[in-house]
Amino acid sequence: MLLNTITEGNFSNKRALVRVDFNVPVKDGVVGDDTRIKAALPTITYLLDHGASVVVMSHYGRPKGKKNPDFSMAPIATRFAELLGRPVKLASDVIGSAVAEEVKALKAGDVLLLENVRFYAEEEANDPSFAKSLAAYGDVYVNDAFGTAHRAHASTEGVAHYLPSYAGFLIEKEVKFMAPLLENPEKPFVAIIGGSKVSSKIGVLESLSKTCQCVVIGGGMAYTFLLEMGHTIGSSLVEEEYRQTAASFLKAAKERGVKVILPVDHLCGRTFSEEAEAILVDGPDIPDGLIGMDIGPKTIALIVEELSGAKSVVWNGPMGVFEFAAFAEGTLDVAKALAKSDAVTVVGGGDSVAAINKFNLADQISHVSTGGGASLEFLEGKTLPGIKALEK
């Protein structure tokens, strides 16, 4: 997968229209977590340093296609300017003659942040005339919003039809680390897939099992597999309608020679609550009245041993209910093993990224993806419209 990247473009005295993902938490007019804003700074700084003026666009929240001051980009503009170290003007709107004048007044080195692109229903509908209105603000288009690259919206895909288009550094990095996992990973390649439901992860399992040597299945989804294999799972989460899917996956993995690790012991609770006492079940079968909430120490040891010889590892989804302190051990120990590994390690998906950040291990992982749904769809092997629009 070869992308047009910004290092190949000439931006001197040009207006760069840049799509970023500034969908960040805001409370009482203050940005809570500015990770996504920081992630976009290298691309924006590069463009400014190379003589461009920059028109930045993003969505924030779910205003449902209507102007809503609760979803204004104003507090985000304030934090963006602080982090960028130069003034950022907030546009009066997204489209219209007033915005066109604000764009026209820009000089090299200036930065204008458009209002929330989702104030207009045409954005999510990928309306061509809306996309054309946005495209009129730039001489070139740069997409650095990996988190929305799986959506064919006007600002993520539509504008690319009207302007020379480039991938920013963030999207370039995402593709650099994730594409090889689907194409030609360094082996042995281990895929660790967790989360609550088979239904949301079966696409990733099927996709990665084509290139990996070992699949680790954890989290709530593991109990559907265990039940189908003839084990008892107590009151654990199960998707009855996906038992046949689980059986088909296990059969296909066996035929391909892919090793599958499922929990061989568990930490369980009598209730699904933070107050629940952790009860160790020293075997694969869970008795009646208990809910599987985390993997046990034997399972952790199996995973850690598998990771010790890996050259490539991808992790998507926690091993248990890591939000509850008593059931965080499995996810924490897998995160620590990844951090210590000499392999190329890629962590994608909202919950596993949250776990890595919670345990302060992000700087010890080769790549932590910025896109939840986008990471998932990429690893499923799906075409991401926002990425497709940037290919050579």
Domains of the chain with CATH codes: 6-173 (3.40.50.1260), 184-379 (3.40.50.1260)
What's the pLDDT tens digit per position in 139-182? Answer: 999 999 998 999 999 999 999 999 999 999 999 999 999 999 99
Note the pTM of the prediction, 2 decimals: 0.88
Q: What is the mean pLDDT of the chain?
A: 95
pLDDT computed for residue 350 by the predictor? 67
pLDDT band at 245 (very low <50, low <70, confident <90, very high): very high
Between CA 93 and CA 252 the distance in angstroms is 53
- Expressed in angstroms, the distance from the first to the final Cα of the chain is 8
Mean pLDDT of 351-374: 86
**What's the DSSP call for residue 216?**
E
When pLDDT is averaged across residues 49-69 and rounded to a whole number, the result is 97
CA distances 256 to 31, 209, 248, 349, Å, are 48, 8, 12, 26
pLDDT tens-digit profile of 270-299?
999 999 999 999 999 999 999 999 999 999
Preceding peptide of 188 cis, ω within 30°: yes
Report residue 204's pLDDT band, with 50, 70 and 90 as the boundaries: very high
Q: What is the mean pLDDT of residues 91-102?
A: 97
Active-site amino acid positions: 36, 197, 350, 373
> What is the rounded average pLDDT of the residues 333-349?
93
Q: 101 pLDDT exceeds 80? A: yes
Secondary structure class of 167 (helix, strand, coil)? strand
pLDDT tier at 353 (50, 70, 90 boundaries)? confident
At 277 the pLDDT is 97
